[in-house]
Amino acid sequence: MYPENQYVPMYHLVCVQCGATYPADEIIYNCKRCGHLLAVKYPLNEITINKAAWDKRPLSVWRYRELLPVQIEPVTLQEGGTPLYHLKRLGDEMGLRHLYAKHEGMNPSGSFKDRGMTVGVSMALQLKMKSVACASTGNTSASLAVYAAKAGIPAVVLLPAGKVAVGKIAQALMHGAKVI
């Protein structure tokens, strides 16, 4: 059990089309009844958020762990908490005083995909998966490979022939992913 995670959210999976529900720990990729996608449903009004506790934690995805399903020690590379720049000159031009840009390239694998991937690979371990896989031509495959390497499990990346961001595939290969 992750030491600071005192609240275990009683979330479940819901079909976005027909509303069928499934337990959160069921290994399922789409609705058994109609085949549509599943969404994660949280009882948000039952989750206790302690802002003082959040303020004490480092700026990262895991600062908000009460809102995440992971109950084990997460697979993390300190993703999130990227710099926020005040774009004053561009804002002046556009008549926007409070225009900011978040520099998501500062995440560990160089993209915002790391925010989801830290949770996804942690959930894979929690659900006792032995490997992870994705179909992606770019940032997702790089991110998956990085987090799988951190977790010590194999990653498989599936690509369409000839439609590939070479730099991103190099990243996946360097981190030991099997690229097909």
Q: Which stretch binds Zn ion (CB under 5 A): 15-23, 65-73, 86-94, 146-154?
A: 15-23
**DSSP bridge partners of 155:** 132
| CA dihedral for 172, 174, 178, 180, sign (positive or negative) | positive
- Tokens for 38? 């599943």
From the CB of residue 131, how many other CB atoms can be counted at a distance below 10 Å?
12
Q: Which stretch binds Zn ion (CB under 5 A): 32-40, 50-58, 157-165, 171-179?
A: 32-40
DSSP label at residue 108: T
Rounded least distance, CB 20 to Zn ion, Å = 5
Q: Closest distance between Zn ion and the C-beta of residue 80, in Å?
A: 32
Nearer to Zn ion, 28 or 170 (CB): 28
| DSSP3 helix / strand / coil % (the chain, rounded to 5) | 35, 15, 50
Nearest to 25 by CA among 75, 89, 77, 69: 69
CB of 119 to Zn ion, least distance (A): 23
Q: Is 33 in the site for Zn ion (CB under 5 A)?
A: yes
Q: Which of 10, 18, 127, 174 binds Zn ion (CB under 5 A)?
A: 18
Can residue 31 be called a binding residue for Zn ion (CB under 5 A)?
yes
Numbers of helices and strands, H then E, in the chain: 5, 8
* Choice between 37 and 59, CB closer to Zn ion: 37
Please give the residue ranges that form the binding site for Zn ion (CB under 5 A).
15, 17-18, 20, 31, 33-34, 36
